Amino acid sequence: MSINSGTIEGTFERLQQSFSLGKTRTYEWRKAQLDALQRLLTENKTALLSALNEDLGKSASEAYTTEIGFLLSDIRHTKKHLRKWMKAEKVSTPLIAQPGRSMIQPEPLGTVLILGAWNYPLQLTLAPYTAALAAGNCVILKPSELAPASAAIMGRLIPRYLDGDAVSVIEGDKDVATRLLAMPFDHIFYTGGENVGKIVMQAAAKHLTPVTLELGGKSPCVVDANTDMATTARRVVWGKWTNAGQTCIAPDYVLVERSCTSNFLARLEHEIHRQFGAQPIASDDYGKIINAGHLERLQGYLQGQDVIMGGESDAQSLRMAPTVILNPDIESTVMQEEIFGPVLPVIEVSSISEAFDFIKRRAKPLAAYLFSEKPDVQQKMIDEISAGSVCINDTMMFMANPALPFGGVGHSGMGRYHGRFGFNTFSHHKSVMKRSFWFDVAVRYAPSSARKRFI
């Protein structure tokens, strides 16, 4: 529904009412919603791809892989495991509580809010949505207003396919988000920047509503001299310039061992042209910047820097070339803010230890990457670098594994989802103990004189 066809408060109450009637709790309802979402994505693939192209200039193949295809595989995985995830897990019962049985029963939280982001407008809204439905919740979705074509198509299609008593799409800007945040939701799942994350958490605190915050940060990428440089460059280019760098887990900057800088840069340039052609800015495989404000912000990062590749942009088409800057001043804005665009600072270090120290002195990132063939360096990365996820010898691929949790740590966020972790985020794990009457150890009851000999 749109904001005009009913008040936010009315929608919230209607969904709460549906939840209290219990209709979302059954396996059948959950499965039917997941089936419906799957149908929505497959039957409207062309329209969805064109909305993504309109908002972000995504090519059909990139949009399919990173958004629709990702969601379909997430839904299939969820449906495959749903019955098992919903089951109570039996756990042991100590002697003191015998005879008895203990179990952990997942139950839905109630009515939850999902505030989506604009960079992967379908994936980052509908993946948490899949998890929330699988866990049996009523859901209000607020897509990001910065990707209006994607927001509009979700607003149009979701009510046609899913159960309108239990789900609703409310489109709008931050004023709508503010009104939604005033409601006593049972969980809020937010994807976006750190500043709004703090606003969300503050609003949630008024109702003691738990939050999941999927935020961002500067994800580092360390390149060891001892690595397959051609494949390293290929994977860095893919991770950095997919969606024109507007990916929360894109490598934000590279720390490269000085002895291999020129080899790395040469391979990087070769790969940029191999993947996006001689003029990436004109390539259909290369996305656009979300709006003029963000393009200006990104252009601003180049002031006073040593731009060694790219640098050009086109305000008309909102495109900015894959751009590499060498050894920026660490105090400059490009190294202080999350870039979230196609600018890649490459910083030379004299050793891998220096690179790790650099990362450890900064806020914990959402992702951290290492390219190295040395097992001891790989292990050091896993042991020493705190990040939402660590990925060795690739970028972003950990996202493709639903068995791995996805989420940040410290300033890159709190909570996690994907696969079972998403189901758990939107469920309460209720402790259940069942006792029987046939035997009773009297020692726990007063009078205390009866307990004395056990103390």
Which residues are near ligand NAD by CB under 6 A?
115-117, 119, 124, 142, 144-145, 173-174, 177-178, 191-193, 196, 199, 214-216, 248, 338, 340, 366, 408, 413
The residue among 207 and 374 lying less far from ligand NAD, judged by its C-beta, is 207
> How many residues would you count in the chain?
455
The residue among 402 and 413 lying less far from ligand NAD, judged by its C-beta, is 413
Q: Count Cβ atoms within 10 A of the Cβ of residue 169 and give its class: 0-12 exposed, 13-18 middle, 19 or more buried.
A: buried
Choice among 214, 257, 271, 338 that is catalytic: 214
The residue among 255 and 290 lying less far from ligand NAD, judged by its C-beta, is 290
Whether residue 271 lies in the annotated active site = no
Q: Which of 249, 191, 223 is nearest to 425 (CA)?
A: 191
Q: Count Cβ atoms within 10 A of the Cβ of residue 380 and give its class: 0-12 exposed, 13-18 middle, 19 or more buried.
A: middle
End-to-end CA distance of the chain: 64
The residue among 174 and 206 lying less far from ligand NAD, judged by its C-beta, is 174
The distance of closest approach from Cβ of residue 340 to ligand NAD in the complex, given in angstroms and rounded to an integer, is 5
- For residue 356, count other CB atoms closer than 10 A to its CB: 21
Cβ-count burial 230-267 (b if 16+ within 10 Å, e if not): eebbbbbbbbbbbbbbbbbbbbbbbbbbeebbebbbeb
Distance CA 66, CA 247 (A): 11
CA distances from 104 to 101, 237, 254, 431, 432 (A): 11, 45, 44, 5, 6
Which distant-in-sequence residues (6+ apart) come within 8 Å of 177 by Cβ?
A: 115, 142
The distance of closest approach from Cβ of residue 59 to ligand NAD in the complex, given in angstroms and rounded to an integer, is 19
The distance of closest approach from Cβ of residue 6 to ligand NAD in the complex, given in angstroms and rounded to an integer, is 19
Torsion 229-309-302-279 (CA) sign? negative
The distance of closest approach from Cβ of residue 139 to ligand NAD in the complex, given in angstroms and rounded to an integer, is 15
Cα-flanking dihedrals φ and ψ of residue 127, to 5°? -70, -50
Indicate the residue whose CB is closest to ligand NAD: 216
Tell me the sheet residues that pair with 220.
253
Q: Which of 231, 232, 251 is nearest to 241 (CA)?
A: 251
Is residue 198 within 8 Å of 175, Cβ to Cβ?
A: no
The distance of closest approach from Cβ of residue 210 to ligand NAD in the complex, given in angstroms and rounded to an integer, is 17
The distance of closest approach from Cβ of residue 352 to ligand NAD in the complex, given in angstroms and rounded to an integer, is 26
The residue among 67 and 338 lying less far from ligand NAD, judged by its C-beta, is 338
Q: What is the CA radius of gyration of the chain?
A: 25
Biggest CA pair distance of the chain: 89
The residue among 366 and 385 lying less far from ligand NAD, judged by its C-beta, is 366
The distance of closest approach from Cβ of residue 148 to ligand NAD in the complex, given in angstroms and rounded to an integer, is 12
The residue among 196 and 225 lying less far from ligand NAD, judged by its C-beta, is 196
Residues that are catalytic = 214
